[in-house]
Amino acid sequence: MSFNIAIDGPAGAGKSTIAKKVAKELSFIYVDTGAMYRAVALYLIKNGISPEDEAGLLRACGQIHISIEYENGEQQVILNGENVTGQLRNEEVGNMASAAAAKPCVRETLLTLQRDLAVKADVLMDGRDIGTNILPDAQLKIYLTASVETRAGRRFRELQEKGEACTLEAIAKDIEERDRKDMSRETAPLKMAEDAVLVDSSEMDIEEVAARIISLYRERR
């Protein structure tokens, strides 16, 4: 029987970084659900479709095909036959993904693929509603969070390293707005599962967070 680990939490909490590290150490398949939503967002942006355009969104959901492949151990996101991995990590795509994720047809489009992956293999999945909605039977659920200040600082440094112009204040405001949207949406809002373990990474480094999750996994395996 496969073992599933679900990591949920707000934007910028370090879910993807931690999830990749833990999955590698445990030889699990890492599924970045956020990247899947970002791929949908990229399609909407490229085709000029607003998430408020219900008819356009419904048509788009029928035309979007997303698959996950691995190249040298790295996850590659394939959108309608094109590798779009390098186009997914900018603010415009992130904000569109947050808006699109609130729409039921988008979530349903990705739900089947995500659950199929989890049945077939030991999977570590991170996102906003993995433990509450996508993998409610996951054997280990983590709610990974950090203060807005900590998350904004991390994102600010990440964007600076890429040479993108930004201010710490604007990023903090953006994070607060995304938190509000994610927590208040009608469909599968961001919330901590009742049986999840809370991990606050504000005062922890990557190694400490990963070690904590691996320890919890070994207790349950």
Domain boundaries, the chain: 4-220
pTM for the full predicted model: 0.78
Tell me how far CA of residue 9 lies from CA of 123, 128, 165, in angstroms: 17, 6, 26
Q: What is the pLDDT of residue 50?
A: 96
Rounded to a whole number of angstroms, the distance between the first and last alpha carbons of the chain is 11
Q: What is the pLDDT of residue 187?
A: 79
Kindly give the confidence (pLDDT) of every residue in the chain, 221 residues in length, as a single tens digit, with 9 standing for 90 and above.
899 999 999 988 999 899 999 999 999 989 888 899 999 999 999 999 999 999 999 999 999 988 888 787 788 999 999 999 999 989 899 999 989 988 999 988 899 878 988 998 899 999 888 999 999 999 999 999 999 999 999 999 999 998 988 999 999 999 999 999 999 988 788 999 999 999 999 999 999 999 999 999 999 98
Task: Give the whole-number percent of the chain exceeding pLDDT 70.
Answer: 100
Q: Determine whether 139 is exposed, middle or buried from the number of CB atoms within 10 Å of its CB (0-12, 13-18, 19+).
A: middle
Q: Are 167 and 113 in contact (CB under 8 A)?
A: no
Per-residue pLDDT tens digits for 67-78: 888 787 788 999
Q: What's the topology of domain 4-220?
A: Rossmann fold (3.40.50)
